[in-house]
Amino acid sequence: MRWMRTLLANGTTAQAALLVALFAAGLALGLTVQTAEAAENSRVYVPKPPKGKGDKCMEDTKFMRANHMNLLKHQRDETMHNGIRTKKHSLKECVACHTVPGNDGQAVSYEDPKNFCRQCHDYAAVKLDCFECHASKPPKGQAKIHPNAKNAYRVSGGLPQ
């Protein structure tokens, strides 16, 4: 916080204005987050994709939400060009773990809106390009589905069918 005090001490009007703006932005962000939480019980659709088959992801959820694309992109280049095939950040492992069962109990592919990745990507209207080429579900018989995954539709407001 020292920088803030310094800034306030030496600050010109412009700097002070900037600070106020930053504060306001932070407040607004906080409010948004709160609103999002409140939306759980509202009729607004909020994606809440099911858990993966393991106990926990290799990074925490918050980090993954913000950074999964960077991890995947980094890993993709490492694997493609250098042949590094560690499992930690591999898309194959993501897909193997985050399976969602369809009506037949088998893992659904990316064509199904229940697909783990699609739930948020549809919500955020972000193009999901991986599965144009990559398999979006584990090979038949190899999918292990976490019991929690049955709650695929445990989403406030329900999934648009």
Partner 1 sequence: MTTPDKQTNTTNRRNFLGQSAALAAGITLAPGVTLYGVAQAKAPEDAVTAKVRWGMLIDANRCADGCNDCVSACNSENGLKGHGRPETDAQWIRKVNLRDPNTGAKQSLPVLCQHCSEPPCVDVCPTGASFKRKDGIVLVDKHICIGCRYCMMACPYKARSFIHETVTDQKPHAPRGKGTVESCTFCVHRVDAGGQPACVEACSKTSAALTFGDMNDPKSNISKALAEYPSSRIRADLGTDPGVRYRGL
Q: What is the contact surface with partner 1 in residues (CB under 8 A)? A: 76, 78, 80-87, 92, 95, 109, 111, 132-135, 138-139
Minimum distance from CB of 68 to partner 1 (Å)?
16
**Residue with smaller CB distance to partner 1, 40 or 111:** 111
Quote the least distance from Cβ 46 to partner 1, whole Å.
Answer: 29
Sequence-ordered list of residues with C-beta below 8 angstroms from that of 40, at least 6 positions apart, any chain: 46, 156
Indicate the residue among 74 and 150 with the shorter CB distance to partner 1: 74
Rounded Cα distance, 11 and 16, in Å:
6
Contacts of 123 (CB under 8 A, 6+ apart): 45, 46, 47
Handedness of CA 123, 127, 132, 137 (dihedral sign): negative
Nearer Cβ to partner 1 (109/156): 109
Nearer to partner 1, 78 or 122 (CB): 78
CB of 118 to partner 1, least distance (A): 15
Residue 79 per-residue DSSP state: H
